[in-house]
């Protein structure tokens, strides 16, 4: 058996920017003095004339990005999710969203898995914030391969994009040679008849492991990766819900305003079925080992499997 490769999606983001820069001379990268952590430093090293450190001034960085976009550049503006989505929300809304500019926000260190950085940096509200901005596209890739494809897709897309990346190294799920990425299209990873698990980001691998746990108990789980949370793939959500009759959502984000909320909105309008949400339950994080924190907050395969059985019992 080949060794499972693990890589943080923030690392994949930095590598993808370098590859993108080689084929697209119109790309400019900004960073709020965190390039070593966001991994945009790789782009700086390769293309110093197209990289700008704006300092610890995230709101100003978004304003600069908007200005560059009006001149025809494709701009990637990077910082931690807490600062990119939180501190600069008003600038993103008014300077980027309202004007529908070609700015891509590379938000790293999202979710509980930031670990030892603690509650102040563990952003579990960013998807909810970005979903509220009209016309904003939100992509939350699951692994190294998906991240690279997402970065290139974002660059080709005309309009604002919020790209969400993690600090924790995660297993590679996809094969580079066969993987196809399309904004707004979910991907079925496992077919099943008893329950559907919709997952995003690092929770996709946990959902697959949960499906294996359920299989050993005679339960058939369909697993679907929702890498684009906005615009969300309504068709795949409705079709899966009709087939299995109940749903679990899994995300490294608050249960308020994220994937779970988006799925519930779709199903309440078109296909009402029981939905059980797995995520951070309206509480702040805490400092600790990333893997231990994920388990503590129920963001693991065992809890997903337990919630799947709960959803089945609600049919």
Q: Is residue 181 part of a domain?
A: no
Q: Are residues 11 and 105 both part of a single domain?
A: yes
Domain that holds residue 136: 6-171
Q: Is residue 182 part of a domain?
A: no
Q: Are residues 136 and 223 both part of a single domain?
A: no
| pLDDT at residue 2, as a whole number | 45
Q: Are residues 199 and 146 both part of a single domain?
A: no
Q: Is residue 229 part of a domain?
A: yes
- What are 124-141's pLDDT values in tens digits? 999 999 999 999 999 999
Q: What is the DSSP letter of 158?
A: S
Last residue within a domain, chosen from 128, 147, 171: 171
Burial label, 47 (beta-carbon count in 10 A; 0-12, 13-18, 19+): middle
The encoded tokens of residue 145 equal 């391969």
Q: Are residues 149 and 235 both part of a single domain?
A: no
| pLDDT at residue 1, as a whole number | 36
**Rounded Cα gap, residues 153 and 104, in angstroms:** 11
**Rounded Cα gap, residues 247 and 245, in angstroms:** 7
Q: Is residue 178 part of a domain?
A: no
Please list the ranges in the chain whose pLDDT falls under 70. 1-3
Q: Is residue 180 part of a domain?
A: no
- What are 208-242's pLDDT values in tens digits? 999 999 999 999 999 999 999 999 999 999 999 99
3-state secondary structure string across 166-206: CCCEEECCCCCCCCCCCCCCCEEEECCCCEEEEECCCHHHH
Burial label, 188 (beta-carbon count in 10 A; 0-12, 13-18, 19+): middle
Q: Is residue 303 part of a domain?
A: yes
Domain CATH for 257:
3.40.50.920
Q: Are residues 226 and 264 both part of a single domain?
A: yes
Q: How many domains does the chain have?
A: 2
| pLDDT at residue 3, as a whole number | 57
Domain CATH for 16:
3.40.50.970
Q: What is the DSSP letter of 87?
A: I
Q: Are residues 309 and 231 both part of a single domain?
A: yes
Catalytic residue (one of 19, 46, 58, 252)? 58
Q: Are residues 202 and 98 both part of a single domain?
A: no
Q: Is residue 167 part of a domain?
A: yes
Neighbouring CB atoms inside 10 A of 132's CB total 13
Q: Is residue 146 part of a domain?
A: yes
Q: Are residues 147 and 218 both part of a single domain?
A: no
Q: Are residues 73 and 210 both part of a single domain?
A: no
Q: Are residues 159 and 101 both part of a single domain?
A: yes
Distances (CA, A) of 37 to 110, 140, 141: 12, 18, 18
Q: Are residues 136 and 202 both part of a single domain?
A: no
176 included as an active-site residue: no
Q: Are residues 136 and 160 both part of a single domain?
A: yes
The dihedral sign for the CA sequence 176, 182, 184, 187: negative
Distances (CA, A) of 244 to 177, 236, 305: 31, 12, 15
């Amino acid at each position: 058996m080949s060794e499972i490769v693990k890589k943080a999606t923030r690392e994949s983001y930095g590598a993808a920017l370098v590859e993108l820069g080689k084929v697209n001379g119109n790309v400019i990268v900004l960073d709020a003095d965190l390039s070593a952590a966001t991994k945009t430093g790789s782009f700086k090293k390769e293309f110093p004339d197209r990289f700008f450190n704006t300092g610890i001034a995230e709101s100003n960085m978004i304003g600069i990005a908007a200005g560059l976009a009006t001149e025809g550049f494709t701009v990637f503006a990077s910082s931690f999710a807490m600062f990119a989505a939180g501190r600069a929300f008003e600038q993103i809304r008014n300077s980027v969203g309202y004007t529908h500019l070609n700015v891509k926000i590379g938000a790293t260190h999202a979710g509980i898995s930031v670990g030892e950085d603690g509650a102040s940096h563990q952003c579990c509200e960013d998807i909810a914030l970005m979903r509220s901005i009209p016309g904003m596209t939100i992509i939350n890739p699951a692994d190294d391969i998906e991240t690279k494809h997402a970065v290139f897709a974002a660059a080709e897309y005309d309009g604002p994009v919020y790209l969400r990346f993690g600090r924790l190294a995660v297993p590679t799920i996809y094969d580079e040679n066969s993987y196809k990425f399309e904004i707004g299209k979910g991907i079925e990873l496992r077919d099943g008849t008893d329950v559907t698990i919709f997952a995003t980001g690092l929770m996709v691998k946990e959902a697959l492991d949960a499906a294996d746990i359920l299989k050993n108990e005679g339960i058939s789980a369909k697993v679907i990766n929702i890498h684009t949370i906005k615009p969300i793939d309504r068709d795949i959500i409705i079709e899966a819900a009709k087939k299995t009759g109940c749903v679990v959502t899994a995300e490294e984000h608050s249960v308020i305003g994220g994937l779970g909320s988006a799925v519930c909105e779709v199903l309440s309008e078109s296909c009402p079925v029981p939905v059980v949400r797995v995520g951070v339950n309206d509480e702040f994080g805490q400092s600790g080992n990333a893997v231990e924190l994920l388990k503590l907050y129920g963001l693991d395969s065992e809890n997903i499997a337990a919630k799947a059985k709960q959803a089945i019992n609600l049919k």
